[in-house]
Amino acid sequence: MSRKIFYPENEAALLRPLIKTETTDNGQAGGVSQVTTRMIPYSVTELSNIQEKYTRLAKVTETEYVWRVSLTGGDRILLSEDEAQGYWGPGVFLTTDDPREPWSLTQRVVYWAGGLDPMERGDPACIETPTINHLTESLQKTACLQLMHGRRLVSRQPSPMLLNANPDRMIPLIRGLPDSLKLCAIQLQNRLQDALAPRGGRQNQQGGAMTWVEVAQELIRYNRRMGLIGEMGKSKPTVRSVEQWEDRTLPRNLGAKRNLLWTEGVKEGIPQDVMDGLPAAALEKLFGAWKDQRKLSPRTD
């Protein structure tokens, strides 16, 4: 007999199997195994602990509440309709009237918040990403916004990060990214929009699709490939002469070319922290890509 157990949370008080699947072999060669699945309900104490940790305070917006639940383990806590009957904060009841699945706590609060007007629930115009270490967190917030706007329950979906990214939900994310990552994010948004564009009367919804996890990986890879600073929020000098940026180890003619490219890049609006430390050849490629992207990409501010 084999048994598969799912643990909903890494805290000691919640370390218990929620759904248990048992497969029993009847002992006969070639016989059909019998699979039994049953839920093990939370105890009253466990539910009380969950409610205490995840209740919504009156001063917290609905969107902020969804983010907190998802970012602190709500993706792993599965609740049945009966278990979600309790009171979870000011005006919040988490029942969905859909008994088919023991939906995760994140799914439940997203479904509840999705029934409110986006302005009323506090949808942000900008999701701040001060450092590269906050990038995945910002992507998870964006994925939660997508779920709230769609207001649909996704069966067997442990995290919003595994959903296919909707390019229409990327605007607040792009606004909050450092300038050094905005160009890459806009290019990803365009790629996702192209994947959804009608082709021959049909939408190519699979080719080019990316999950939010994959979007985060693309941005992190771009950050490393371009040699950008690891702590994107670090303070940096913003006013420096062209001569100060010149690499003294380069031949004189290459140094002059790099200075010219730097000056033109500043005029075109390329962030200085993107160009910092790049040799002339890399600056030339970046300058060309930036100009092409400015022609194709819509404004995001």
The span from the CA of 114 to the CA of 73, in Å, is 20
Q: Quote the pLDDT of residue 89.
A: 75
pLDDT tens-digit readout, 229-277: 544 444 333 222 222 323 333 333 445 676 777 677 777 777 765 666 5
CB 66 within 8 A of CB 148: yes
Give the SS3 label for residue 129. Answer: coil
Token pair for 31: 């016989």
Q: Quote the pLDDT of residue 288.
A: 73
Task: Please report, rounded to a whole number, the percentage of residues in the chain having pLDDT higher than 90.
Answer: 33
Backbone angles phi, psi at 255, to 5 degrees: -65, -40
pLDDT tens-digit readout, 275-294: 665 667 767 777 777 766 66
CB 102 within 8 A of CB 79: yes
| Lowest-confidence region among 17-21, 31-35, 55-59 | 17-21
Write down the domain spans for the chain. 2-39, 44-225, 242-296
Mean pLDDT of 123-133: 90
pLDDT tens-digit readout, 164-209: 999 999 999 999 999 889 999 999 999 999 888 766 555 555 567 8
Q: Quote the pLDDT of residue 189.
A: 94
Q: Quote the pLDDT of residue 107.
A: 93
Q: Quote the pLDDT of residue 3.
A: 31
User: Position 68: which residue type?
Assistant: R
CB 144 within 8 A of CB 74: no
Token pair for 16: 């218990």
pLDDT tens-digit readout, 77-121: 988 888 888 777 777 888 888 888 889 999 999 999 999 999 999
H or E element in which residue 186 lies: helix 179-196
Contacts of 138 (CB under 8 A, 6+ apart): 127, 128, 129, 173, 176, 177
The span from the CA of 51 to the CA of 294, in Å, is 49
| Strands, E assignment, 151-214 | 198-199, 202-203
Range from 20-34, 119-133, 283-297 that averages highest in pLDDT: 119-133
Q: Which residue has the tokens 């670090």?
A: 234
Token pair for 37: 């699945």
